[in-house]
């Protein structure tokens, strides 16, 4: 028996790779749930092609004794489902990578060292059960056996997971897992793989949640009562989740004929008193920009979720990028206030989406929740969402006969009424208007109305969410990041070589906090890490503070940043004093 190929004390990166249609996502979901129930921390993220069949897609599952929420470049354990998988992943494979696969069909001519290839006849086992379509469930069995997961609990979960399937299909899936399970046990018993142990801080109440679900849960917790959207990846998961909840909640979900209709329907619902929501991606937001401007003019609350993907145009519809910050910042013609929130992980996606509804209603402005494909399609075990930490704030007044919807006020906030709640007439108009919403060309009044709307910015700036500090507070070097870069930067800065490096993660990117300048002034060198080609957040910081950042670590291939890439990017700048792009 050969000695252990890799000693893994607290973290393992498992990658599954196969064609679209081979059920990679199913393996991820079942295995992640089983590992979570067994006391492991899990984080899963996917990269996939824009096609229904074929190609090569992969899912990485980090199995750890600590909570992790960022991908890594290395692969400790690989399960290839088709012959092209190892070629697809070749840049991530190393001498340390262990491959469990069907050597006859997957690796007949490949260069993987035989000491690192553990042969399991997946295809033969699947055929015995009922055909190649059960290969993914054989893999579930092998992996659950490898981690010694409770087979009976797994069997019950499979019955729930496939509850809508024909009884024979359910039986075959369970049989495939049962036949694969002993193969995993054999590998475990050889001692050739040392695996992380279940963690000590496991809680039964923890949940396994994806980014799209978290945004949806946040909308429900924030009191959302109306969603109108048109499907567009990677935002569609939010609409699908909320549509599934509509019958159980006080919620209407409408799939509009296009994004123009969606934004206008949502504004109409908000005018009538609903807490309205739209979810889209960059191309959909492009169509919504006139509606965003309408929200600014009629001062009607709306929450807009934008899940970013690479552009321009159709770009890479199933990949990730942080390329739409400037678009969201300036969407809509004319000048009016807005708020932009950018969650860093699943928990923030829940909390910030819920908060967005209160902010929109309080300040009568559009509030954007800016995510990306990486976060939308990722999943992690997290503490159960604390619903007691979320309150629903209402700022609607009962109107009287003297009510004026756009009353000029010192604060800039006009009392918001809704039709039928009181005796007042609640008028709105997309043209410039007077206090009662009548069209006006009084140019002096026009100036006062613009000033009134913009005065709300002062109120908004009193409630800016502070950035999260990462790394060493007595820093010499300061790293800035935003949105889904949170955990890749956080984990990179845990490395001893960055002992004098601090970081700031921004979950609100507009407006930015006034004290940001003080953080920048303390640093000998500043840099930003973000997933776009032009350092959009870095430019925004320079615009708002008057201080240009020294360097940028950028990635815009469509793949998410790995922890290693962030660490090497920062190290390259510190050691060589040059940008890493």
Our separate counts of H helices and E strands in the chain read: 18, 20
Q: What is the DSSP letter of 38?
A: T
Strand 302-308 vs strand 477-482: parallel, antiparallel, or unpaired?
unpaired
CA distance 522 to 502: 11
CA distance 403 to 562: 55
Over range 515-535, report the average pLDDT: 97
Intervals of CATH 3.40.920.10 along the chain: 11-190
Over range 207-222, report the average pLDDT: 97
Handedness of CA 65, 390, 232, 226 (dihedral sign): positive
> Whole-number mean pLDDT of the chain?
93
- pLDDT at residue 192 tops 80: no
Q: Tokens 């929740």: give the residue.
A: 369
Intervals of CATH 3.40.50.920 along the chain: 468-576
Concatenating the DSSP letter of every residue in 187-202 gives: HHHHT--B-PPPPTT-
pLDDT at 108: 61
Q: Dump pLDDT digits (tens) for 293-306.
A: 999 999 999 999 99
Q: Dump pLDDT digits (tens) for 388-416.
A: 889 999 999 999 999 999 999 999 999 99
CA distance 202 to 116: 32
* Edge-to-edge strand ranges of the sheet holding 551-554: 468-471, 501-506, 477-482, 525-530, 551-554
What's the whole-model pTM score? 0.95
% of the chain exceeding 70 in pLDDT: 95
- pLDDT at residue 131 tops 50: yes
First to last CA, the chain: 45
Q: Are 392 and 222 in contact (CB under 8 A)?
A: yes
CATH of 11-190, one of 3.40.920.10, 1.10.10.10, 1.20.1330.10, 3.30.300.20: 3.40.920.10
In sequence order, what are the beta bridge partners of 528? 480, 552
Intervals of CATH 3.40.50.970 along the chain: 208-389
- pLDDT at residue 548 tops 90: yes
| C-alpha distances in Å from residue 71, one per residue of 12, 20, 86, 162 | 11, 21, 18, 29
CATH fold label, 468-576: Rossmann fold (3.40.50)
In sequence order, what are the beta bridge partners of 194? 7
Q: Dump pLDDT digits (tens) for 251-267.
A: 999 999 999 999 999 99
Over range 277-288, report the average pLDDT: 98
pLDDT at 557: 97
Reported as half-sphere exposure (CB side, CA atoms, 13 A), residue 392 has a value of 12
1 band by pLDDT with thresholds 50, 70 and 90: very low
CA distance 478 to 473: 9
165 band by pLDDT with thresholds 50, 70 and 90: confident
- pLDDT at residue 177 tops 90: yes
Architecture of domain 208-389: 3-Layer(aba) Sandwich (3.40)
Over range 69-91, report the average pLDDT: 94
pLDDT at 290: 98
């Amino acid at each position: 028996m050969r000695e252990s190929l890799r000693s893994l004390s607290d973290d393992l990166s498992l990658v599954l790779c196969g064609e679209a249609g081979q059920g990679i996502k199913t393996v991820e979901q079942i295995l992640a749930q089983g590992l979570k129930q067994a006391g492991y921390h899990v984080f899963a993220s996917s990269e996939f092609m824009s096609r229904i069949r074929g190609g090569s897609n992969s899912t990485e599952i980090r199995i750890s004794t600590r909570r992790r929420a960022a991908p890594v470049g290395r692969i400790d354990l690989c399960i290839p489902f088709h012959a092209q998988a190892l070629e697809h992943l070749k840049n991530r494979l190393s001498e340390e990578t262990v491959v469990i696969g069907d050597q006859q069909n997957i690796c007949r001519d490949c260069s993987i060292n035989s000491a690192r290839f553990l042969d399991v006849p997946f295809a033969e086992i699947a055929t015995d059960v009922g055909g190649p379509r059960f290969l993914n469930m054989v893999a579930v069995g092998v992996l659950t056996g490898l981690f010694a997961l409770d087979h009976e609990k797994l069997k019950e979960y499979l019955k729930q997971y496939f509850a809508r399937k024909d009884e024979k299909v359910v039986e075959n899936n369970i049989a495939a897992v049962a036949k694969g399970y002993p193969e995993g046990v054999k590998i475990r018993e050889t001692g050739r793989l040392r695996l992380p142990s279940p963690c000590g801080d496991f809680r039964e109440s923890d949940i396994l949640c994806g980014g799209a679900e978290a945004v949806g849960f946040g909308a429900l917790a924030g009191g959302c009562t109306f969603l109108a959207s048109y499907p567009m990846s990677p935002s569609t998961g939010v609409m699908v989740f909320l549509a599934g909840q509509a019958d159980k909640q006080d919620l209407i979900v409408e799939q509009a004929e296009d994004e123009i209709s969606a934004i206008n329907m949502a504004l109409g619902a908000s005018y009538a008193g609903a807490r309205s929501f739209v979810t889209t991606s960059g191309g959909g937001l492009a169509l919504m920009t006139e509606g965003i401007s309408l929200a600014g003019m009629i001062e009607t609350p709306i929450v807009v979720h934008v899940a970013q993907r690479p552009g321009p145009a159709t770009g890479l519809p199933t990949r990730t990028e942080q390329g739409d910050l400037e678009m969201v910042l300036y969407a809509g013609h004319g000048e009016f206030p807005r708020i932009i929130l950018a969650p860093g992980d699943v928990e923030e996606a829940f909390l910030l989406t819920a908060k967005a509804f209160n902010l929109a209603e309080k300040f009568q402005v559009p509030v954007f929740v800016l995510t990306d494909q990486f976060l939308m399609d990722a999943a992690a075990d997290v503490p159960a969402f604390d619903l007691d930490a979320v309150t629903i704030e209402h700022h609607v007044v009962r109107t009287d006969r003297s009510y004026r919807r756009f009353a000029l006020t010192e604060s800039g906030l006009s009392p918001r009424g809704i039709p039928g709640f009181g005796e007042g007439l609640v008028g709105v108009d997309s043209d410039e208007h007077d206090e009662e919403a009548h069209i006006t060309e009084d140019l002096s009044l026009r100036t006062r109305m613009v000033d009134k709307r913009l005065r709300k910015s002062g109120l908004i700036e009193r409630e800016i969410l502070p950035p999260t500090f990462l790394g060493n507070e007595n820093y010499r070097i300061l790293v800035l990041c935003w949105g889904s870069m949170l955990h890749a930067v956080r984990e990179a800065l845990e490395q001893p070589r960055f002992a004098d490096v601090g970081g700031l993660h921004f979950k609100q990117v507009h407006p930015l906090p006034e004290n940001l300048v003080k953080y920048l002034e303390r640093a000998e060198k500043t840099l930003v890490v973000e997933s776009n080609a032009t350092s959009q957040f870095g430019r925004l910081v320079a615009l708002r503070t008057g201080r240009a950042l020294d360097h940028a670590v950028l990635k815009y291939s469509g793949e998410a940043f790995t922890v290693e890439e962030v660490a090497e990017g920062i190290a390259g700048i510190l050691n060589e004093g040059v940008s890493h792009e």
